[in-house]
Amino acid sequence: MSAHAGFDAASVTTPAADVPSGGALGAVQTVLTTLNGVMAVASSIALGAAGGVLTWEVIGRYFLDIPSDWQDELSTFLLIGATFASAAWTQARRGHVAIDALAHVLPPALEGVRRVVADVGALLFCGYFGWKCFGLLLEAVADGQTTPSAWGPPLWIPYGCMAAGMALLTLQLLLQVLAAPQRFRA
């Protein structure tokens, strides 16, 4: 136990997804959990790499007098990839920012309904956003779009990360919405 208000990071458990482990939903959730785990590890690596790139930028620019412009775009691409790739993993654990003031005052049955309504709203938004991301990806590939910098990396890279991440997040939300009736029966 650490000295910080009784909180010990090593004792924190990560809750499982709100999807039953059996049946068709459970089978899809098992595959998605594995994929989300791989994406979470890749996101962690990308965050570390972005930190390294930005640290190099500061050292190179201010201490070694080596100006360049590729670090900003590379770190932005890494952060976009990490953010979107880890979104479904975070949703499976209900780890996104939530305002749970109502959860403490609503009866359990009504809290379950509120959670399903929130999940359906998030599913609709993420489905639409994902659809738009796929549109951006297809447009970037078809037109050969690149960033306007001297380095000029292709824009399909961040758009592809956005589209893939939103597809996984939408699938996770869909599984949670489809599993809601089973949670109410339990």
Q: State pLDDT tens for residues 78-123.
A: 999 999 999 999 998 877 766 677 777 888 888 888 888 989 999 9
Quote the pLDDT of residue 184: 62
Residue linked to tokens 């594995």: 34
Encode pLDDT of 117-141 as tens digits: 989 999 999 999 999 999 999 999 9
Band (pLDDT 50/70/90 cuts) for residue 27 is confident
Q: What's the burial of 64, exposed, middle or buried (CB within 10 Å: 0-12/13-18/19+)?
A: exposed
User: What percent of the chain is modeled with pLDDT above 90?
Assistant: 48
Structure tokens at 154: 């292709």
Residue linked to tokens 């959670």: 115
Distances, alpha carbon 139 to alpha carbons 78, 146, 164, 174, in Å: 21, 11, 15, 27
Can you tell me the mean pLDDT for 34-59? 93
Encode pLDDT of 154-181 as tens digits: 999 999 999 999 999 999 999 999 887 7
What does the angle CA 123 – CA 128 – CA 131 come to, to the nearest 5 degrees? 120
Which alpha helices (H) appear in 16-107, and where do they start and end?
A: 23-58, 70-85, 87-92
Is there a contact between 93 and 174 (Cβ–Cβ < 8 Å)?
no
Structure tokens at 20: 């039953």
Quote the pLDDT of residue 101: 73
Which residues have C-beta within 8 Å of that of residue 64, sequence separation ≥ 6?
none
37 pLDDT above the threshold of 50:
yes
Is there a contact between 50 and 78 (Cβ–Cβ < 8 Å)?
yes
Can you tell me the mean pLDDT for 3-7? 46
Report which of 136, 142, 180 is spatially closest to residue 162, judged by C-alpha positions: 136
CB count in 10 Å sphere of residue 16: 11
